[in-house]
Amino acid sequence: MRRGNWTPQAPAHGADPLSISRVVRRLTYSGERDSAPYQTRQRGTLMSSIALRLGLLLMLLPPSLAEAETTPLNVPILMHGSIGDDACPEKGHVIEIGAEPESFLAVQSGPGEAPFREIGRLHDGDMVVVCEKLGPWLGVVYGSALLGCRTTILTPVEQSYTGPCEHGWVLARYISLSKDQN
């Protein structure tokens, strides 16, 4: 007997297709069984199975979850370009919304009431970066990790904020502003 050679078993003539596929998938080992190659093959099959199931699960997610990052604002937030200044130099935090868990500040797709829709919610103490002021409304960027939001970049020309963080319009009276000291 030769040790260390993997060979597929040959199916018998006249066998049904199901048993042929089982035989082809099964690998036999001549001599003592070495479990390492067998385990590696099992792990590869397991990973393929997990990847397939995750792919199917992602296809079943509601479209609203996928749209959250790609739905554009009705009125874009402009980062005003200026040489030597951050694109969005002011920071602030939400104030006076209320202590109740159901109290929130609506983030909208544009400044003003109708026809703009609610696209997010902020609560007391939530931090925001202010990029634009338009009457009683502020164009803000918000999220859990504001450092990665690309609001401190230098933009020589005016441009719309497109992400990667959440952004929208809020009423200015609920935001306490402070000049960014960084």
With CA atoms as reference, report the closest residue to 30 among 10, 9, 3: 3
Which superfamily, per CATH, for 70-179? SH3 Domains (2.30.30.40)
Lowest mean per-residue pLDDT among 17-21, 23-27, 138-142, 175-179: 23-27
What local confidence, expressed as pLDDT, does residue 148 receive?
82
Cα 71 from Cα 66, distance rounded (Å): 9
Contact 28, 9 (CB under 8 A): yes
Angle at 17 between CA 14 and CA 22, to 5 degrees: 110
What residues have CB less than 8 Å from 143, skipping those under 6 apart? Answer: 149, 165, 166
Cα 1 from Cα 7, distance rounded (Å): 13
Q: Tell the residue number behind the tokens 């009457």, with chain if given.
A: 135
Average pLDDT over residues 170-179: 89
How is residue 67 written in tokens? 């749209």
Residue 169 has pLDDT above 80, yes or no: yes
Average pLDDT over residues 67-81: 69
With CA atoms as reference, report the closest residue to 80 among 159, 26, 2: 159
Lowest mean per-residue pLDDT among 5-14, 97-106, 117-126, 166-175: 5-14
Q: Would you list the domain boundaries of the chain?
A: 6-60, 70-179
What local confidence, expressed as pLDDT, does residue 67 receive?
37
What letter would DSSP give residue 154?
B
From first CA to last CA, the distance across the chain in angstroms is: 73
What local confidence, expressed as pLDDT, does residue 119 receive?
92
